[in-house]
Structure 1
Amino acid sequence: MNIHRSLAPLCAALALLPGGISVADAAAPRSTAAAPVFEQWRETAHRGNDDLLVAGLGIDALRSPTAPAFANATQPTAEEARRRAIWSSWRGIADLTPGGGFGDVYGTLQSVPGREFSAYARIPGAGHPHRVLVQVPDSFDAARRCLVVAASSGSRGIYGAIAVAGSWGLAHGCAVAYTDKGTGSDYYDLDAQVGVQADGTLASQGALAFVPATPHATHGIAFKHAHSGDNPEADWGRHLLQALQFGLQALDRAYPDAAPFTPATTRTLGVGVSNGGGAVLRAAEIDGDWFDAMVAGEPNVSVAGAPPLYDFVTQAALLMPCALLTQQDLPQPPLHAQAAAAGSQRCALLEAAGQVQGDDTATQALSARQQLADAGLSDAALRAGAFSTGFDLWRAIAVTYASAYGRFGAGEHPCGYRFSAAAADGTPGPAAAALRATWWSEGSGIPPGSGVLLVDGNAAAEDPLRGLNCLRTLGRGDGPDARRVRAGITEAAAKAPRRGLPIVVMHGRDDGLVPVSMTSDRYVGFARKAGAQIAYWQVDSAQHFDSLLAFPDYRARYVPLLPYMFAAMDQVWDHLEDPARALPQDARIQPTPRAEAPLLREQLSIPAARSR
């Protein structure tokens, strides 16, 4: 474990440029040994009505479905793009509804003044960079130096972990380092040949964050997760490590009189949820005392020797619309009548293809359900999976990950899928300038969404399941395309964490997107066999998306997972500060959803911190 050393108080801070103007051409800060070279350095100041944590947006603005405005709808400034990106990231991850508890029971939404440092980082051998960004609050104490390091959840942009790592780390006076882990919202418009610059603004040339190499398509949209050719998931751990290294360099720049900042003198905590949680566990494999501890929530993680999550995703895309007919009282949305009609149609198609058995819809649905049960999916996870089914997330995820695993460029998808902007009538077409201007701030990193469509190039009335079956074959077949995909899946499998590194993993037992039985259950057992120091919190009545608790039916059934992330970080931090305080222990947590009442801490049944 790293040793935190007390240092003399800071004598003088680095002078800020007026208004936080870009300093991309400034000299690079002092480097630590073997640290990567970071390009396109920028430094900006964020105080007053443009702070680090909420970009000057109050709780009412964060709750509003109306995005912060651009003065010029087609050409937002860097400040406007950043503010909207932070608004979108908060809304996509956290439950901010009145009575939901964020800011009262857990977390903070208080304004945090400070500075941001950002750059491009590159994994050796990768064709494209990933973004790294460090927030340094004015409250940072160089005598008690600490750095929280996080990867974005899902495939989100650089602010995709701000509601977790930012809210906790900045409130503790720590610097917070982020990476988009090679995914993110750096969409590229193939028609207009326009991409995104380091500051989030649009450009057709220069140091863009992502430009697809020799795309086979000249129309539509390319994005980094699907079309970089780098299989970013294979390097998520190294992305997180580079974010840590960038954080140390940024602190050297922010406090030159207290430099160098190193892992031996700076307390470091790795944090992430969903794909970000997977990145945390992959970083735990890396040799060296880079991190003092890790906290991973609902991690997307697969282990060698077990079916990968891609296999379940493609199975769910095919079977779940039919299998959901076996479940009563599904959470809303999606609307039950629409889901039932789509499910009945899917059952008939599957039966005709020989993929389920039965002479009637009810029997066919039971056949589909049994196949998912055999894969390890519980009834609770199936019920929560209704959202992903109703909103076509399974197919979107499968298309993107198949492209990434196989390293297929834009226009090369073996199942004929592509992405396009939505024209005014909703059909594929060139992107309007005002739509293109929103992508970096609002894109999830996996379309469809934000005016980008997923287009099935092989759609055929005589075989409506052709595309889905093709996606499934890529994970199971023996053709050259399938071998490419399976090779990428193998590259992304987790290895054992290094011994002695404290790790806390938590997961909702009702997770319908990243089922706990196929991810955390397997990883924890695998890691413990390798001698890992790991605690496992299993949370009943928690599903994957805290933001869905904005819907009344969801908050009547489920509790948010983020309070447990904050509690685990608190307990781990207390142990790092005072080893007499015990690390978290295993817990099966049985909370009570709040329904329409304000959330109370006692309803969450958070495991109590212990002393040794």
Structure 2
Amino acid sequence: MNIHRSLAPLCAALALLPGGISVADAAPPRPTAAAPVFEQWRQTVHRGNDELLTAGLGIDALRSATAPAFTKPAQPTAEETRRRAIWSSWRGIADLTPGGGFGDVYGSLQAVPGREFSAYARIPGARQPHRVLVQVPDNFDASRRCLLVAASSGSRGIYGAIAVAGGWGLAHGCAVAYTDKGAGSDYYDLDARTGFQDDGTPASQGALAFVPAGTAATQGIAFKHAHSGDNPEADWGGHLLQALQFGLQALDRAYPESTPFTAANTRTLGVGVSNGGGAVLRAAEIEGDWFDAMVAGEPNVSVAGAPPLYDFVTQAALLMPCALLAEDDLPQPPMRAQAVPAWTQRCATLKSAGLVQGDDTAAQARSARQLLLDAGLSADALRAGAFSTGFDLWRAIAATYSSAYGRYGAGEHPCAYSFSAAGADGTPAAAEMRATWWSEGSGIPPGSGVMLVDGNAAGAEADPLRGLNCLRALGNGDSADARRVRAGIAAATAQAPRRGLPIVVIHGLDDGLVPISMTSDRYVPFARKAGAQIAYWRVNHAQHFDSLLAFPEYRKRYVPLLPYMFAALDQVWGHLEDPTQALPKDALIQPSPRAEAPLLREQLSIPAIQATPSR
């Protein structure tokens, strides 16, 4: 989920849904890499006031709630859409508030001049392409070549991992390769028949990044994650590998005198958070020495035999509005006083439907809370889930992922959900609004003027739970649609990583969106049983969205996760440079939130680098 500071960056930071289907005793064949073909190559130069890391904005402009302006609001230039996309991506992922530590305690915002290469790539059998992009800093050293490879968090656009990968990789003189992993912000307006070109500018013709095919809808908004006809999560590992392969080809073009750039002669690290972290672990399955090490933060990853995360998401959409009434001292936003009436009504509706017990609201809330705890959610993660509940993100996530799992096109969702940018008077989206989608869209509406429409809510006898119950039944029912969706969930189930690949998994104990108990706590033992080389850092007082630390209620309770990502990269990099330095070890980290004081490094309790014992 991501909520662009209000509702977009977070609707995408989201990440979910894995499969929980049993597998045969014999391990499935390990995925292998096919040589990809990249189309619509594009190269641009970024120096001076338009550099790689912040598009020349710097910390003050990144902190500003005012987006970089378009000179012509309905017809932005490629430079303007890129700058706004980078602004939005930083704000959606990182805590950039004064005293938050970024650029001082961890990370870098120093200007990085260089070049960008971008193209479309396609997974074999996929209906739609995905974007790949490589940033090559001018200080790249071809004699010490390195490539950091990242997938966007949530369903964000191509710059969605810049705060994670760019903030570390470019500062180390590495090239950085990105993929939107088959999702992204290439929305398509069915009313205006308008989408986006490779440079992020709106257009109604040409080589658009996404045009929905065979759609049953003629109105509203289609977007790639929900309506591509693909199941991108099943191919996350392939998306990341294709970004790596594109990165090597881009370096061949950038430094023709130093070719060839290969995985054998270039240091390669995979990194990502949330869905991006899940992509990192899925890429770790692929045969071949493509990656030297992996760092996965708060990964959305599924393990066969366990309940899929989709099951939790649909349960949270139903129960959490009621369950949170049994929790005191919730972080704000959402503002509790404004949420209580709707949450109280949800309790009453759940009681009438026989889904919770209790004769009054307090008892009904305790009943809903217990059901979530019984499903494996911790009390701290439940409390942190207030944000996703307050902004109705659970429902948006479930509608989008079920559409992707079932490979439904626009207008085909079995639970009658759709997306629209129409105004209250039914007028289609204005061109000025549409022009912002590529830069600011989270990849999963609502946000940026696009809303989720519940086709079950119309009419005087509308059932307020009909749509939610329908979404839930897609995960546990026996209809043809349910079987179709569950097949998509099963296809996204993780396999064990290849042996010998160093991996660091980092997860916050208070993660309310991708709960650690339902993802990393299941994946790490599963992978270790298969012989994987994994360090597991569990971080107390860390939830899912660093950007929420802009709110006082959040920074008094939580610490950012990005410092641990950068520290793990530092330690893995140090080991690759000098094998006498040990790889990271398991750690249960006990940091202290900063509240209103500036963050100090010692408050983070980052695990120390250890030396390898001499033999």
Band the TM-score falls in, shorter-chain normalisation: over 0.9
Distance, in Å, in 1 between the alignment partners of 2:422 and 2:205 is: 24
The residue aligned with 1:127 is: 127
Shift of 1:339: 2.1
Checking the alignment, whether the CA contact within 8 Å between 1:132 and 1:243 is kept in structure 2 is yes
The residue aligned with 1:441 is: 439
Shift of 1:367: 1.1
Q: Which amino acid aligns with 2:197?
A: Q
Shift of 1:537: 0.2
The residue aligned with 2:421 is: 421
Q: Which amino acid aligns with 2:521?
A: D
Distance, in Å, in 2 between the alignment partners of 1:450 and 1:202 is: 15
Checking the alignment, whether the CA contact within 8 Å between 2:157 and 2:180 is kept in structure 1 is yes
Runs of 5+ in structure 1 lacking a partner? 1-32
Matched, 1:162 2:184: no
Matched, 1:288 2:291: no
The residue aligned with 1:515 is: 515
The residue aligned with 2:83 is: 83
Shift of 1:422: 3.6
Would you say how many aligned residue pairs link Structure 1 and Structure 2?
578
**TM-score, normalising length from structure 2?**
0.93
Distance, in Å, in 2 between the alignment partners of 1:104 and 1:83 is: 23
Distance, in Å, in 2 between the alignment partners of 1:485 and 1:114 is: 43
The residue aligned with 1:365 is: 365
Query: Counterparts in 2 of 1:548-563, with a 5 A limit?
Result: 548-563=548-563
**TM-score, normalising length from structure 1?**
0.94
Distance, in Å, in 1 between the alignment partners of 2:574 and 2:339 is: 47
The residue aligned with 1:147 is: 147
Q: Which amino acid aligns with 2:594?
A: R
Give the one of 430, 455, 463 matched to 1:457.
455
Q: Which amino acid aligns with 1:442?
A: E
Distance, in Å, in 1 between the alignment partners of 2:436 and 2:335 is: 29
Render the CA deviation track for 1:336-374: whole Å, top value 9, x for unaligned. Answer: 112222221111000100111111111111111111011
Distance, in Å, in 2 between the alignment partners of 1:360 and 1:422 is: 39
Query: Counterparts in 2 of 1:151-300, with a 5 A limit?
Result: 151-300=151-300
Shift of 1:375: 0.8
Q: Which amino acid aligns with 1:62?
A: L
Distance, in Å, in 2 between the alignment partners of 1:155 and 1:327 is: 30
Query: Counterparts in 2 of 1:85-124, with a 5 A limit?
Result: 85-124=85-124
After TM superposition, the structure 1 stretch with the greater mean CA deviation from structure 2, 457-466 or 45-54, is 457-466
Distance, in Å, in 2 between the alignment partners of 1:124 and 1:196 is: 23
Q: Which amino acid aligns with 1:507?
A: H
Distance, in Å, in 2 between the alignment partners of 1:312 and 1:525 is: 21
Distance, in Å, in 2 between the alignment partners of 1:437 and 1:385 is: 32
Shift of 1:34: 5.0
Checking the alignment, whether the CA contact within 8 Å between 1:185 and 1:443 is kept in structure 2 is yes
Distance, in Å, in 1 between the alignment partners of 2:167 and 2:335 is: 34
Distance, in Å, in 1 between the alignment partners of 2:261 and 2:418 is: 45
Runs of 5+ in structure 2 lacking a partner? 1-32
Render the CA deviation track for 1:531-585: whole Å, top value 9, x for unaligned. Answer: 1000000000000000000000100000000000000000000000000000000
Checking the alignment, whether the CA contact within 8 Å between 1:350 and 1:356 is kept in structure 2 is yes
For the residue of structure 2 that corresponds to 1:557, the secondary structure is: coil
Q: Which amino acid aligns with 1:607?
A: P
Distance, in Å, in 2 between the alignment partners of 1:318 and 1:531 is: 39
Query: Counterparts in 2 of 1:302-451, with a 5 A limit?
Result: 302-423=302-423, 425=424, 429-451=427-449
Checking the alignment, whether the CA contact within 8 Å between 2:331 and 2:553 is kept in structure 1 is yes
Checking the alignment, whether the CA contact within 8 Å between 1:150 and 1:161 is kept in structure 2 is yes
Distance, in Å, in 1 between the alignment partners of 2:410 and 2:519 is: 30
| Percentage of pairs with the same residue | 83
- Sort the Cα spacing of 1:216 and 1:324 in 2 relative to 1 into closer, same or farther, 3 A: same
Checking the alignment, whether the CA contact within 8 Å between 2:151 and 2:271 is kept in structure 1 is yes
Distance, in Å, in 1 between the alignment partners of 2:564 and 2:527 is: 21
- Sort the Cα spacing of 1:448 and 1:429 in 2 relative to 1 into closer, same or farther, 3 A: farther
Distance, in Å, in 1 between the alignment partners of 2:205 and 2:76 is: 17
Render the CA deviation track for 1:570-608: whole Å, top value 9, x for unaligned. Answer: 000000000000000000000000000000000000000
Checking the alignment, whether the CA contact within 8 Å between 2:456 and 2:462 is kept in structure 1 is no
Q: Which amino acid aligns with 1:576?
A: L
For the residue of structure 2 that corresponds to 1:488, the secondary structure is: helix
The residue aligned with 1:42 is: 42
Matched, 1:577 2:567: no
Distance, in Å, in 1 between the alignment partners of 2:319 and 2:558 is: 24
Render the CA deviation track for 1:3-40: whole Å, top value 9, x for unaligned. Answer: xxxxxxxxxxxxxxxxxxxxxxxxxxxxxx95211000
Q: Which amino acid aligns with 1:339?
A: A
Shift of 1:201: 0.8
Render the CA deviation track for 1:392-443: whole Å, top value 9, x for unaligned. Answer: 01000000000000000000000001000041x4x65411000000000000
For the residue of structure 2 that corresponds to 1:528, the secondary structure is: helix
Render the CA deviation track for 1:494-527: whole Å, top value 9, x for unaligned. Answer: 1100000000000000000000000010000111
The residue aligned with 2:524 is: 524
For the residue of structure 2 that corresponds to 1:169, the secondary structure is: helix
Which runs of structure 1 show a deviation greater than 6 angstroms over 4 or more consecutive aligned residues?
A: none
Distance, in Å, in 2 between the alignment partners of 1:313 and 1:110 is: 39
The residue aligned with 2:20 is: none
For the residue of structure 2 that corresponds to 1:397, the secondary structure is: helix
For the residue of structure 2 that corresponds to 1:40, the secondary structure is: strand
- Higher RCO structure (Cα 8 Å, ≥6 apart): 2
Checking the alignment, whether the CA contact within 8 Å between 1:220 and 1:429 is kept in structure 2 is no
After TM superposition, the structure 1 stretch with the greater mean CA deviation from structure 2, 337-346 or 532-541, is 337-346
The residue aligned with 1:567 is: 567
Checking the alignment, whether the CA contact within 8 Å between 2:456 and 2:463 is kept in structure 1 is no
Q: Which amino acid aligns with 1:593?
A: P
For the residue of structure 2 that corresponds to 1:302, the secondary structure is: coil
Checking the alignment, whether the CA contact within 8 Å between 1:420 and 1:429 is kept in structure 2 is no
Distance, in Å, in 2 between the alignment partners of 1:438 and 1:275 is: 23
- Sort the Cα spacing of 1:166 and 1:330 in 2 relative to 1 into closer, same or farther, 3 A: same
For the residue of structure 2 that corresponds to 1:111, the secondary structure is: coil
Q: Which amino acid aligns with 2:432?
A: A
Shift of 1:59: 0.9
For the residue of structure 2 that corresponds to 1:61, the secondary structure is: helix
For the residue of structure 2 that corresponds to 1:279, the secondary structure is: helix
Shift of 1:462: 4.0
Checking the alignment, whether the CA contact within 8 Å between 1:333 and 1:387 is kept in structure 2 is yes
For the residue of structure 2 that corresponds to 1:294, the secondary structure is: strand
For the residue of structure 2 that corresponds to 1:177, the secondary structure is: strand
For the residue of structure 2 that corresponds to 1:200, the secondary structure is: coil
